[in-house]
């Protein structure tokens, strides 16, 4: 099976390396020249619990010319349309596209480029850190929930889950993956955004009473808006999920902190808290916390990325 990883940052490299080591043919796709050149010359360096060099094939999306069996989307949310446009030539009627992006609203974007029967939506709690070009740091364990959005394609969804499990990625075929996607978005909408704004670890945030109060208020907004969209969300269960995640990731700076504070890159806030604010407007649901958090992140982007 030929698998493309569309967006080969930290998570894309993790999945690509594990699938490669499980015997799949994997091609990484990315647009970062230093990253591409380093992996071509030296292989992908993996550090953490197990230090190793993994020889990987990597290229820019427009350079790929073989039709893939499976394309796993790991690009940043704001780059998704451009990525899908650039990989049209490596998709045909049998190609499956698995989306594992953070945030909300990606299914509708993908449908503009990919037939519905070919789309598999998913969510993962695996983590990874991009140390530098061609170098990722891996720690802890994780899992994946996936589902074919066309019920008639469930058999292929199960097959993709089996391939992921052969790579020890702990995949589950979910009969309703949308609540899991919203729960993960809620984790990002509390930990990612607040830690990026406050320049703190997850543990530091959750150790403060005002921080915890904000977390609970954000969860309430996510659940209200999700329920209005018809998503099966229970506020107590989502809160429990967020709290448990905060314990296991207490010493971690989340990805939005890495992007904005550490590397001065634009964030995915418009697809997390910003998405909840937009969907809330559609249902006449007020989302004051998500509104102001989105504004504050954009303000911080202006300060750190676009200095006058």
Determine which of 10-24, 160-174, 201-215, 250-264 has the lowest per-residue pLDDT on average: 250-264
Q: Is 184 an annotated catalytic residue?
A: yes
Q: What is the pLDDT confidence band of residue 308, given thresholds at 50, 70 and 90?
A: low
Domains and CATH numbers, the chain: 2-173 (3.40.50.720), 178-305 (1.10.1040.10)
DSSP code for 254: P
* DSSP notation for 68-134: PSEEEE-S-GGGHHHHHHHTGGG--TT-EEEE--SSS-HHHHHTTTS-GGGEEEEEE----EEEETT
Of 34, 21, 258, 31, give the one whose Cα is nearest residue 129: 258
Percent of the chain with pLDDT over 90: 92
Percent of the chain with pLDDT over 70: 99
Digit-coded pLDDT (tens) for 206-234: 999 999 999 999 999 999 999 999 999 99
Residue partners of 137: CB distance under 8 A and separation at least 6: 10, 46, 47, 48, 128, 129, 131
Digit-coded pLDDT (tens) for 90-111: 999 999 999 999 999 999 999 9
Helix locations, the chain, DSSP H: 10-21, 33-42, 80-86, 106-110, 154-166, 178-187, 193-198, 202-206, 209-228, 235-248, 255-257, 273-282, 288-305
Does the pLDDT at position 29 exceed 70? yes
Catalytic residue among 111, 184, 244, 302: 184
């Amino acid at each position: 099976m030929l698998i493309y990883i569309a967006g080969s940052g930290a998570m894309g490299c993790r999945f690509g390396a594990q699938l490669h080591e499980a015997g799949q043919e994997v091609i990484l796709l990315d647009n970062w020249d230093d990253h591409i050149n380093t992996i071509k010359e030296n292989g992908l360096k993996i550090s953490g619990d197990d230090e190793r060099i993994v020889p990987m094939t990597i290229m820019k999306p427009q350079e790929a010319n073989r039709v893939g069996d499976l394309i796993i989307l790991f690009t940043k949310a704001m780059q998704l349309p451009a990525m899908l446009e650039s990989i049209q030539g490596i998709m045909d009627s049998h190609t499956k596209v698995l989306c594992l992006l953070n945030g909300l609203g990606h299914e509708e974007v993908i449908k503009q480029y990919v037939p519905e029967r070919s789309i598999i939506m998913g969510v993962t709690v695996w983590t990874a850190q991009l140390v530098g070009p061609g170098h990722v740091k891996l720690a802890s364990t994780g899992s994946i929930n996936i589902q074919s959005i066309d019920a008639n394609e469930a058999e292929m969804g199960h097959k993709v889950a089996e391939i992921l499990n052969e790579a020890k990625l702990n995949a589950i075929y979910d009969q309703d993956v949308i609540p899991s996607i919203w729960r993960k978005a809620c984790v990002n909408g509390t930990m990612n955004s607040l830690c990026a704004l406050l320049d703190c670890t997850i543990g530091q945030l959750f150790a403060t009473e005002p921080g915890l109060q904000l977390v609970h208020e954000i969860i309430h907004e996510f659940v209200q808006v999700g329920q209005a969209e018809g998503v099966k969300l229970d506020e107590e269960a989502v809160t429990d999920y967020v709290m448990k995640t905060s314990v296991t990731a207490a010493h971690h700076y989340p990805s939005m902190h890495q992007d904005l504070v550490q590397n001065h890159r634009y964030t995915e806030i418009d697809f997390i808290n910003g998405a909840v604010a937009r969907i809330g407007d559609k249902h006449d649901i007020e989302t004051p916390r998500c509104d102001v958090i989105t504004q504050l992140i954009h303000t911080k982007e202006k300060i750190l990325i676009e200095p006058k």
